[in-house]
Each structure stands twice: as structure tokens, then as C-alpha cells.
Structure 1
């Protein structure tokens, strides 16, 4: 099939490269000439495991092209994917400016019958509005249908998620569109969930909201575990063993970030508000997530007694490993809070060479970042942090204090480390480990303190 993907950002580039790998002829179009020039030379301007080899292979085989000529790319293909960004407006609503710009261009285009597929995350009813607009353009008789085909790509695992998804969601009106979309994805052995467009639009928001709520739920349980001296890892394992719940996204820590969850949580709340529907679970999940960095910095402040003048080393700045994305990363909030307390912040992340806060001193490796610091805060689960030389770490860290904001290190393993090297280890919802390898029992609840044996 001949496909044009308009918008060569994260979603668009993964979509184009993966569809080309399935044997389709793909044009990736974007207004950013610098980006298109890089892509045409086989270089990918973002980090995503397995993506660059896929792009280079498709270029070599002649199955993918890159262009800034949007009008030409629209006329050349039979299926048009829109994969432009839909960032948050100040009120939380999705900004559809880029999408409408592309739709208006399509409305003026010619060149045979086409299926328009919106892959961007959009509010419910957007596809209906797009169809209404196209009815008045010169392309009205040539648009087969406006379909919604939401993406469920995890950064760091996007290529695999595209080619081996749990499901493919397609919302459309016509049987012809359904047949085309089924043929398009015939090379992927995953079920296709066909539905109406409005349902498809809400499936995307609902999926991300549910995962975000699951993360906030286990973080809520972790904060309670902290107060009761309970190990949240044991709680999480016991809850996740229930097949109705499952273990995924029950990892406690500093909370979610990135370009999707925060944006989509705001957008679905704005959507609910627009129709007078309360969404208290989503509001609570967002509130819990917003407070998680405070718990981490609170542990740091309590242990150091004062952060003013203290040198804090942050290891990991991206919102998750295997990406170079710091959008809405918890590290940003932690940095701001540490600086506000008067701390001196040094940092290292294997993928970050520039950071938006000039006060933060970036280093080229973990050991130079921690040298002479008073405490280490782990904020991203990069594998290299699991393999640190703890003897070397102890010599570099004045107070031997480690705050694990991701619970990425084994609790039992760190107990041995603390005992051997005289360090203190704090995590989220797990008993503190002191320099003697002893765990803190946590706070004894008032109702137990008042109990007397008769």
C-alpha cells in the first residue's frame, strides 16, 4: 500500500518505519527541513532502540522517503496518517492546531480516493469534526473515511510495541475502511479491535488514565507502607499475583512522567469538565503523582537535617530508561525543590548532555557526579546504576546516603551493601536501612501504642 505519514516526530517516525518494514511504500512528511534532511541521510534525531536500523533498511530497500512537500505527499498516497502532536493548552485541553493545519491542507488536495487515519491522541468527537470539515473541501468526494487508529507505544520499546502489540484499535464508519485497515496490518499477528470512532478516541485516553491510576495507587500504598514499616514490594507482589489485577505498573517510586500520561490525564479531565462529568479517580491519581517528588525530597531533607549548601547528586534525568526524553520527568521537580532548599545539584544521565536548568551541573559519568556529594538520589532505572562499585561510591559520598526514588535496587542486596560499607539506604515504601545494615521498623500506629496486655 502507498502510505503518507504526516508528522515525523516520535509516533510518526516509528509508524512510518514499521509500516515500511511490513512491505508498504511509505512517505514521511514534516515541515521541519532539518529533521527531514537528517532522516533522508539515515540518521534518526531521537533515541529509540531498534528504530535507526529500521529506517536505514527501509531507505536502502526504497520503501521509505522523507519530504517537506506536504501537498505532494498527500497526492502521492492512498492512506494518509496524521501523527502530529496534540500538547496541552493551559486549561488542560488538547491543542489541535497542528492537526487542523494538516486537515485543511488535505481538504484542498487532489489525487484519487484516500483513507484518512488520525493516529494522534485527540478528544472524543474530533474525527467527526474532521469529517464535517472535509465535506466542504474539494477532497470531499475522495475521502473514503476518517478513521481513528490510536497508538499504544512505550518509549524505549516502541518498535516492538508497534510490530507485536496487545491489540490494534481501529475506529471507522465504513466497511471499506475496515477492510483497508485490516489489510494494512495483515503482517501483524495481533487482534484488531474494530469499533466506532468516538469509542476509539476514548479507548486511548482510558488506557493511559487506567495505567496512570495504577501507578498512583501503588504509590499511595507505598506512602502508607512507609508509615507502617511495611515493605511495599511484598504488598505489590501479593496484589499483583491476583490475575484480575496483574503485576504490571505496580512498581512504586517517584511517579510517572513523559509526554503521554501527564498530558492525557489533563485532557481527559478537561473532556469530563466540558460535558459536566466528574472524574474523581483521575483527579486523585494526578494529585498523588504530583506529590511523590515531595516524599523523596522530604526523605533527603530529614536525613541531612538541612539541604542548604549540601551537594546532591541526581543519577538519571529522563522520565524512564531507554529514552532521551525529559518531558514532564520527575527529575525536573526534584531539581527545582532541591535548588529551592539551597542545595547544590550535580547530575548525570547517559542520554542527557543539556538540561533546562543552568544551575544544575551536568557530568559525563556517574562517578564524577557523585564525587564529594552529601547524598545520591536515583531517579531513572538505568542498568549502569545497578552495577555501581559501592566501595568507590562510599569513598565519594561524604554521608554515604542513597535515596532510591525508583526502588530499582534490591532491598536485601542494599542491606548487605550498607552493612559492608557503612551507608544509609532510603527507598519508597520500604524500611530504611542504616549504616549497620539494620532496618527501621517504621512508625508504630497509635492504636497499637495504646494497647496494653491485661
Structure 2
């Protein structure tokens, strides 16, 4: 089939009936954007908590701008919620699979949710319906979905998402590119038309390449973060300043500033599992992806390095009170999956520290969360810092930048901070009496 990588400026596609299966960090923005473009959208979610929150008009996730987008769709009666995928796909022109693909024990993506959904909806799809896989999946998944559906009148298309949590709405409405992978030119064209006129470059390709593009994108970005974290460690060793180094790198247009901020390591729902999956895919096909494995190893080292900084500041972690600001893997989301902040918190708890955390997304529902076991959740950053030997700033919530740091100093046992996001001004913190330790700063 033909390939294209030029911006499309065609008019919007006529209204279609669309089902989105999975009300998560991908499914809800996808449903909201499609509804905003005039389509009739059914969002299917079987999880009781998520479905009930949506029915009440609330969102089960934190994502700036998404509540307004969903509210607009509800008011216009263009978005509806159902528990059953079978009910949701009735008479639909398109079905988007936005289900989880968690990492398995061997590093491979677990496709059980994808296969289960495909088997479930197969007999109930309208003739000519196009099933679109938006979940991040390994090479060959489009064929797996087609086999599970088991019908020759149904086309399967790969359309990977490139959303960043915290900016998912903007990324959906103004994409850099839209990738559509299919061996069926008619189905590919129909999917492309759903996103016509959004301004992004349209890349039409085969399913295998589309599936690989998603993994390659996340692997590259993870490697870029690992590189800057490694450079931060080198800066500390030689006495250079990582902030000025990043300026010197980022102004080079070939490099740019995106994903060039040192921190406690990368995490979230995508980078850890997608890098592991790509290494696994390489091994399955006889290629040892040592470059990417090095980026993964560097990320593990960065988490250890930040934990060691906290231990150095505290003197002895056993019995020490450590305040933690931020536990999500990044700001502007409530997602703690594979969060480097959580990995560090667990290491602190295992070392015998008393850990008190504050994150603006935590609620009563989180007090029994497994990843926060043995941790005291506080209601504000000052309570988290109270009587602490060290405060570890692990997530770049902007509110931490504008706190009254003199007041923070007063409530701590010892005013010391490990700024794992380089969010704070070192000179200002020192003027408030803090011992300060950042990332890549001598």
C-alpha cells in the first residue's frame, strides 16, 4: 500500500459510531477527542470503580483538561458509558482496543487482555467494522487480533498512541504524527479519515512497522533520559553543572530540550515495559539489543544513586524520618505505575526509615495501596517534612517550588533536602539553612 508522511488538511470524516474498549489513560482521552470531532462514542469499562466514577460524571484518572472534554461530550450526548464490550460494539463502524498490555515475568508484553477482548467482541461486530489496536503491542499483534476475531469481513488496523500523561488532551488534539498500519488500504484510509484535519503528519504503513514505531519511540526517549542522567553523574564526578550542560546540548536543534531533564529515573506505564519488551523481541529474533539494555541498567542505577543521596544526607536511614514530596512517576498525573519515586520509597522503607509522603493526587483510597504499605500519607508537604532528617523531592509538582521553605526548615529535625528533579534554587535553599543536594550539581 502507499506510504504518506505529509500533513493532512482534509475535512473531518462524517459522523461514525465508535466503541472504545478500556477507560484508562489512553481510552478516555481517545473517546473524548473522537466525541469532540462529532462522532457517537461508546466507552466500555468493566472495572466497577472506573465505570461508576464515569457514570457519576467524574474521572477515575488525573489528566489536565480531560474532565472538560468528557463533560462536553456528555452534554452533547456524543459519549456514553457501558460495562460490557459486547454491548458497546453493537452496530459500530470502528472499535478501538485500549486495554492494558502489562509486562510479563520474562519482559514480554502480556497480551491476554487484548486477546480476551478480541475473542469477546468477535461474534458481535457489525459486518465491515474496523477494529483498531491502540494498545502498545509487539510485532504480530494485529494478526493475533484478526485470528481471535476469526472473521474475514472485519479489518484490523494498528494505530499506536503517542500520548504523554499530563498532556494527553493536547497531544490527542494536536498530534505530531498519526501512524496507521494495515495491509487493507480501504481500512487504513477509513481510520486515517477519522483523524483528518488535525494537523499532524500521517504515516501510512504496514501493521508490523506501525507496532515497531511505538516501541522505537518510547525506547529512544527512555534512552535519552538515561543519557542525561548518566551525564549528571559524570558532572558530579568532575565538578560540572548539568543545567548548563543541558543548555549547551538542547540549543543544538539536532538534540533539542525535550526529555533532557535529569531526575530520579524514568517510569510510568510505558517506558519500563516497552523497553523490556523491545529487548525481549530482539532476543526472540536473534538480536542482542545491548544499547537499550544499557539504558535500562542506567535507569536502575539512577534509582540506587538517588536513594544513596538520601542515605548520605540522613547519615543512617534506620529509624530516621524521611519526608517525601511526590510519588507519581511525573507531575500532572496520578499514575504511580513503575514510578521511580515509589521504587525509592520502597528502598527507604526496607532500610528501616520512617517515610512520610505527600502527593497532591493521594486520597483515602490510597491508604491501603500495596505500593504505599508501611508509609504514612500526609495531608500537606509541611506535615510530610515534620521532624524529618531529610526531605526527598521526587516528583516535579510545581507547588513544591513555591512553598514557604523557611517554614519547611522550621518543622524539620534537620533542614536537608535531596532535590531529585532540580526543581528548587540551590542558593535560595541554602539561605533558608538547608543542606541541599540536587542531580548533576557539584
TM-score range, shorter chain: over 0.9
> In structure 2, the residue corresponding to 1:289 is in which secondary structure?
helix
Structure 2 counterpart of 1:400: 415
Q: Please tell me the root mean square deviation across aligned C-alpha atoms, in Å.
A: 1.5
CA displacement at 1:70 relative to structure 2: 2.0
TM-score when normalising by structure 2 = 0.92
1:131-187 deviation line (CA, Å, top 9, x unaligned): 3444xx3x32x21x2110000111111011001111111111122112212221124
Describe the shift of the 1:372–1:123 C-alpha distance in structure 2 as closer, same or farther (beyond 3 A): same
Report what 2:12 is aligned to.
none
The question of 1:265 aligning with 2:275 is answered yes
User: Which among 324, 332, 335 is matched to residue 322 of structure 1?
Assistant: 332
1:360 paired to 2:371: no
Distance 2:373 2:360 in 1: 18
- In 2, the alpha carbon distance for the partners of 1:367 and 1:300 equals 18
Match of 2:201 in 1: 191
Paired position in structure 1 for 2:4: none
User: Which residue in 2 is equivalent to 1:169?
Assistant: 179
Indicate whether 1:154 and 2:164 are aligned. yes
Asked if the contact 2:264–2:341 (Cα under 8 Å) also holds between the matched residues in 1, the reply is no
Once the two structures are superposed, residues 27-51 of structure 1 have per-residue CA deviations (whole angstroms, 9 ceiling, x without a partner) of 1112224432331332211111111
Residues 7-37 of structure 1: per-residue CA shift (max 9 Å, x gap): 1222111111110011111111122244323
Whether 1:78 aligns to 2:93 is yes
> Which of residues 422, 429, 432 is equivalent to 1:417?
429
| Pairwise CA distance, 1:357 | 2.9
Runs of 4+ in 1 over 3 A off after TM superposition: none
Unaligned runs of 5+ residues in structure 1 are 432-454
Matches within 5 A, 1:327-342: 327-342=337-352
Report the secondary structure of 1:168's partner residue: strand
* Counterpart secondary structure, 1:10: coil
Q: TM-score, normalised by structure 1?
A: 0.90
Q: How far off its partner does 1:343 sit? A: 1.7
Tell me which residue corresponds to 1:442.
none
- 2:82 aligns with 67
Query: In structure 2, how many angstroms separate the alpha carbons of the residues matched to 1:217 and 1:427?
Result: 17
Comparing 88-97 with 100-109, greater Cα deviation is found at: 100-109
| Equivalent residue, structure 2, for 1:426 | 437
CA distance in 2 between counterparts of 1:105 and 1:421 reads 61
Q: Which has the larger radius of gyration?
A: 1
2:277 and 2:27 map into 1 onto residues whose CA distance is: 21
CA–CA separation in structure 1 for the residues paired with 2:67 and 2:307: 38
Is the alpha carbon distance of 1:37 and 1:359 closer, same or farther for their aligned partners in structure 2, counting shifts above 3 Å? closer
Give 1:290's aligned residue. Answer: 300
CA distance in 1, matches of 2:313, 2:201: 51
Offset at 1:321? 0.6
Q: 1:122, CA displacement in angstroms? A: 0.7
- Residues 2, 377 of structure 1: alpha-carbon distance in 2 compared, 3 angstrom cutoff: same
SS in 2 for 1:313: strand
- Deviations along 1:50-77, one digit per CA (max 9) or x if unpaired, are 1112112111111011112322322220
Equivalent position of 1:448 in the other structure = none
Q: From the superposition, tell whether residues 417 and 7 of structure 1 become closer, same or farther in structure 2 (CA, over 3 Å).
A: closer
Task: Quote the offset at 1:313 in angstroms.
Answer: 0.4
CA deviations 1:279-337 (Å, max 9, x no partner) are 01110000010111221121222233222222110111111111111111112221122
Rate the CA distance shift 1:167–1:346 in 2: closer, same or farther, 3 A: same
Contact 2:233/2:439 (<8 A) preserved: yes
Q: 2:5 maps to which residue? A: none
* SS of aligned partner of 1:75: coil
**Which of 19, 24, 44 in structure 1 is aligned with 2:34?**
19
Distance 2:352 2:144 in 1: 51
Mapped partners of 2:168, 2:440: distance in 1? 30
